[in-house]
Structure 1
Amino acid sequence: MRVDEIDRKILRQMQADPDLPMSALANRAGLTSSACARRLEKMREAGIYRGQQAVINWAALGYNVEVYLRVTLDKTQPRAFDDFIEEARKIPEVSEVHTFLGRVDVRLAVLARDMAHYQEIYKTRILTLPHITDIEALMRVSSIKDTEILPV
């Protein structure tokens, strides 16, 4: 799908204020509500616009510890990635799973209420994941920039 300037305008408005009602979004893009909805649907079908989601402040809900684990897998095992990822996705406190090229194969983001909760997750769930050869833990101290907004 080719994205034109009107599509870009819609995307910019969605990034700036994702709670805009369709009528306001359409007005800002210079379209009717139905034309704006059709454009959004085309962008959704093309995989450009994936929809909206709730952004939750986990710390406000008592999850005060965020640890990133850089995991190296035993790549001599043919199913190492598949097995590891399948099991890691089952851990509710794992909020992100990313794969990489290089020395680190997978990065997990783990949310916990406190250090005792993190240690319990680490001992009983993370260390039991298959094919791990090395883990490095990085504890988040602060978030300097946290956005998915890019110039469109």
Structure 2
Amino acid sequence: MQIDDTDRRILRHLLADPGLATAALAERAGVTPATCWRRLDRLRENGVLRGQGMAIDWRALGYEIEVSLRFTLDKTAPRAFDDFIEAARGVPEVIQIQTFLGRVDVRLNMVARDMAHYQEVYRSRILTLPHIADIEALMHIATIKDSAGLPL
């Protein structure tokens, strides 16, 4: 889908403040509310906009530890990926699952309340996931940039 400068302005303002009402978004983007509504509707229909989501601040809920776990799977088992992902989905502390091509097959992001909670989850739920050939844990220290936006 091709977008023009008006679409880009609308998207920039929408990314900056996702909770804006259509009238306020239209005003900031320099278009009429009707034009803004039609453009947003077209962007949704073409899959550019996929709903409006909320971001959860896990730290505000008491989860102080975030860890990225990188796995290489034993791919001699025909269902290694499927079995691993199915089991990983059952771990409540896992907040993201990604698959890759390359040396790392799967990455899990998980949260824990503290180091004791992390150790308990790691030993009882993570190490028991099927088909693990290798695992590497990376402790999250700081987020430098976190943007879902594109350079519009």
- Normalising by structure 1, report the TM-score: 0.92
**What is the rounded CA distance, in whole Å, between the counterparts of 1:93 and 1:38 in structure 2?**
40
Q: Deviations over 1:28-71 (max 9, x none)?
A: 22333233222212212222112222122211211000011000
User: SS at 1:67's partner residue?
Assistant: strand
Q: Specify the alignment match of 2:111 in structure 1.
A: 111
Q: Specify the alignment match of 2:67 in structure 1.
A: 67
**What is the rounded CA distance, in whole Å, between the counterparts of 2:94 and 2:146 in structure 1?**
18
Q: Deviations over 1:118-143 (max 9, x none)?
A: 11111221122111111110101222
**What is the rounded CA distance, in whole Å, between the counterparts of 2:26 and 2:99 in structure 1?**
38
Cα RMSD after superposing both structures: 1.4
> What is the letter of the counterpart of residue 142 of structure 1?
A
Q: Specify the alignment match of 1:48 in structure 2.
A: 48
Q: Specify the alignment match of 1:23 in structure 2.
A: 23
Taking every aligned residue pair, what percent have the same amino acid on both sides? 63
Q: Deviations over 1:93-114 (max 9, x none)?
A: 1111111111110111010000
Q: How many pairs are equivalent?
A: 152
- Normalising by structure 2, report the TM-score: 0.92
Question: Structure 1 residues 45 and 90, CA, compared in 2 at 3 Å: closer, same or farther?
Answer: farther
Q: Specify the alignment match of 2:130 in structure 1.
A: 130
**What is the rounded CA distance, in whole Å, between the counterparts of 2:119 and 2:33 in structure 1?**
51
Within the alignment, does 1:76 sit opposite 2:102 as a pair?
A: no
Structure 2 residue runs without a partner (length 5+): none
